[in-house]
Amino acid sequence: MTLDMSKYLALFVSEATDHLDALAHELVKLEKQPEQTSVDSMFRHAHSVKGMAAAMGYEHMAAIAHRLEDLVDAIRSDRSLVTRESVDLLLSATDALLGQVRAASEGNEVEEAPELEAELAACLASVVAPPGATTSLLDSSAGFRPPVAPVATGSAPAASSSDPRPASSTPASSAMPAMWADSSAPRFTVKLRIASGCQAPGPRAFLALKRLAKLGSIFDLNPAMEELRAGKISEGLISLELETGSSESSVWGSLDSVAEIEIASVVALESTRQPRKRPIGHPQSPPTGQEAAKTIRIRTELLDYFLDTVGELILATAQVREIGKGVPLALRPALEEGVDRLHGLVKDLHEKVMSARMTPLSTLTDRLPRPARDIARRRGKDVDLAVAGAEVELDRTIVESLSDPVLHILRNCIDHGIESKEERALAKKSERGNVQISVRRDRDRVILEIEDDGRGMDAEKLRTAAIERGFLTQQAASRLSHKETFMLSCLPGVSTAKDVSDISGRGVGMDAVKRAVEEVGGTLEIDSERGRGTRFSLQLPLTVSVVNLMLVGIGEEIVGVPVAKVLSALEVDSNALSKKGDGALLRHSRAVLPVRHLSDLLGIPGAEHAGARPYLVMEAESGKVALAVDKLLGQEEVVLKTLSRPLDLIPGLSGVTILGTGRPVFILDVPRLLVT
């Protein structure tokens, strides 16, 4: 691959992935509601991927996309071809293409998929053989046609300026042999769009018309030829009617080799059938007018960079303010005024950057129907997935980190929650299981709930499993509340599943789900009722990067703990502790908490404490603990920075921040620190 091509790679990868994701999404929809789902946009996605892959030189990718396109085309004219098997095949083709795109993005060879190609070809052969034969006959004859389309070929350009013939609804080539004006030949309304940056729209349009004219006769050209030749094309849009014996896909393909102009829509005009409308452009990228100008694609790295930089700006401002405290009194008002103004501007900028990073949860939920279908099928269940409120927006980091946890919960719901058809019938439930994902905004939090109407969790089994694994005593278990009991399923290795299926149980477990939710500053709650179902409730912050930190002194060091994780802070005299073996216990609001020393956990020498010392009460995996520290230095709102390699590998550190004084401070993940 040449250097130059690599410039296009990132864009190719992002656009091709978008098209393929959308295609997979619509395929799943198609299977459910074959009649109501538009196949047109699927065709367009497949067609775009084919064109893009071919342009990038990925022949194997283009070959699969081409077959995919043909098969979708066949489905478009005959919905009865929509079967589980055909959708399966189309989905595997989509997956294969996604795999190839991924390989390309990683700089690997795009590999051939001969079996898949053969399978697609076989499927195609079985469905389109008869009409295909006619089409190809007509196609081949197209090459021998007399120049029937006068708009492109009838007049020499030199003479055209004096040519008064306007484009009209009668074939301007009325002198042509009647056999070519066969009124039974299908007509298509074709809309073309010239790229906005095109320097010579006139010749560009002319070239495109010339290609289309190879397929048949052109009517109703708008704008008229004269205007078109002069480049007077409003918003770059051209429409025309094309009478042709060629197939619709040949019309789509006719401009594949012409740059800067694309077919926006092809609508068959047939008296017997309803005209099929094709939306101009991709639904997510409105192509025309003002909307298009209002949104642009931006690299996510750039968004991350903005956030990092604006974070640095906040810190730098705090630093200047700090320095200002040492400036002679006479100079201070002016300096402080300047710093205040700067602070205001930076805060405003921070807000804007944060809002630019907001991403709707639909980017996550749109990807779920596909795995939901696959898991349900593998388990022989029928499950309906409903999503509500996916338009709610969150910081993109949160949306991204939720992707695995949400998928895992969904798997759990379908795999373990929803009963088999027989079991549901016995329980007088409808055979189809339901999983409902709902998202809503609640002040500065977002609540994401995933709820199934399955068999519910067995609290008793959870308690037994947790006790068996030594996480808590019988006594402690009996004191747990309803919801606390279900949270036991998030302890490593505790699961109510009788067997480890090949679907859930692998990769991330519920403990990883809980951790991932907490890492973005959220909390997880589980509620369940036997026979009625289970609800997983994720409470999420809107943004991640600003956290309220409790600053703690250990010897000479300062570390931070998210305030949200601190249940309470108190000072206790060491005499008030009770001894237990090597450790100590602290009595706190009717509970007895094990004492852990942060200095031991971090391996930092702590200060000596004769009398009272501060403790932080925190939640750990094994229950509450009292964390002994040297000093409580107060709370501060800080900009969280994620750790980069190799620091991110150290367990117990969740991030770093820089205080106004310029001092870097690590943020601790205390529960993990206690485990390691």
Partner 1 sequence: MSKRVLVVDDAIFMRNMIKDIFASGGFEVVGEASNGLEAVEKHKELRPDLTTMDIVMPFKSGIDATREIIKQDENAVVIMCSALGQESLVMEAIEAGASDFIVKPFRAEDVLAVVRKVLGDA
Q: Which residues bind partner 1 (CB under 8 A)?
A: 2-5, 7, 54-55, 57, 153, 156-158, 160-161, 199-200, 202-203, 206-207, 210, 229-231, 256-260
Q: In angstroms, what is the minimal distance from the CB of 296 to partner 1?
A: 18
Longest dimension (CA), the chain: 111
Query: How many Å apart are CA 583 and CA 597, to the nearest integer?
Result: 10
Nearest to 202 by CA among 165, 229, 162: 229
Nearest to 539 by CA among 450, 632, 476, 640: 450
Q: In angstroms, what is the minimal distance from the CB of 361 to partner 1?
A: 36
* Minimum CB distance to partner 1 smaller for 155 or for 537: 155
Query: How many Å apart are CA 298 and CA 670, to the nearest integer?
Result: 36
Can you give 97-112 as a three-state secondary structure string?
A: HHHHHHHHHCCCCCCC
Alpha-carbon distances, residue 345 vs 254, 340, 342, 554, 602 (angstroms): 53, 9, 5, 35, 39
Q: In angstroms, what is the minimal distance from the CB of 225 to partner 1?
A: 11
Query: How many Å apart are CA 367 and CA 43, to the nearest integer?
Result: 19
In degrees and rounded to multiples of 5, residue 391 shows phi and psi of: -80, -10
* Minimum CB distance to partner 1 smaller for 7 or for 79: 7
* Minimum CB distance to partner 1 smaller for 7 or for 530: 7
Q: In angstroms, what is the minimal distance from the CB of 67 to partner 1?
A: 17
The pairing of strands 433-442 and 383-388 is: parallel
Under DSSP, the state recorded for 642 is P
**Residue 672 neighbours by CB distance under 10 Å:** 18
Q: In angstroms, what is the minimal distance from the CB of 166 to partner 1?
A: 18
Q: In angstroms, what is the minimal distance from the CB of 284 to partner 1?
A: 23
Q: Under a CB-based contact definition with an 8 Å cutoff, are residues 602 and 554 in contact?
A: yes
Beta bridge partners of 587: 592
* Minimum CB distance to partner 1 smaller for 253 or for 521: 253
Amino acid at 332: R
Alpha-carbon distances, residue 80 vs 70, 119, 407 (angstroms): 16, 19, 32
* Minimum CB distance to partner 1 smaller for 1 or for 497: 1
Q: In angstroms, what is the minimal distance from the CB of 423 to partner 1?
A: 55
* Minimum CB distance to partner 1 smaller for 192 or for 402: 192
* Minimum CB distance to partner 1 smaller for 31 or for 262: 262
Q: In angstroms, what is the minimal distance from the CB of 199 to partner 1?
A: 4
| Tokens encoding 254 | 């006719």
Q: In angstroms, what is the minimal distance from the CB of 206 to partner 1?
A: 5
Q: In angstroms, what is the minimal distance from the CB of 230 to partner 1?
A: 8
* Minimum CB distance to partner 1 smaller for 55 or for 358: 55
Q: In angstroms, what is the minimal distance from the CB of 15 to partner 1?
A: 14
Q: Which helix (H) or strand (E) holds 189?
A: strand 187-194
Q: In angstroms, what is the minimal distance from the CB of 59 to partner 1?
A: 10
The number of helix segments (H) and strand segments (E) in the chain equals 22, 22
Under DSSP, the state recorded for 277 is P
* Minimum CB distance to partner 1 smaller for 247 or for 359: 247
State whether residue 598 is helix, strand or coil.
helix
* Minimum CB distance to partner 1 smaller for 200 or for 388: 200
Beta bridge partners of 617: 568, 626
* Minimum CB distance to partner 1 smaller for 194 or for 516: 194
Ramachandran quadrant class, 555 (left: phi over 0; alpha: psi -120 to 50; beta: rest): left
* Minimum CB distance to partner 1 smaller for 206 or for 471: 206
In degrees and rounded to multiples of 5, residue 5 shows phi and psi of: -60, -35
Nearest to 32 by CA among 415, 425, 383, 284: 383
* Minimum CB distance to partner 1 smaller for 3 or for 133: 3
The pairing of strands 433-442 and 187-194 is: unpaired
Query: How many Å apart are CA 301 and CA 308, to the nearest integer?
Result: 10
| Tokens encoding 421 | 């058809």
**Residue 478 neighbours by CB distance under 10 Å:** 11
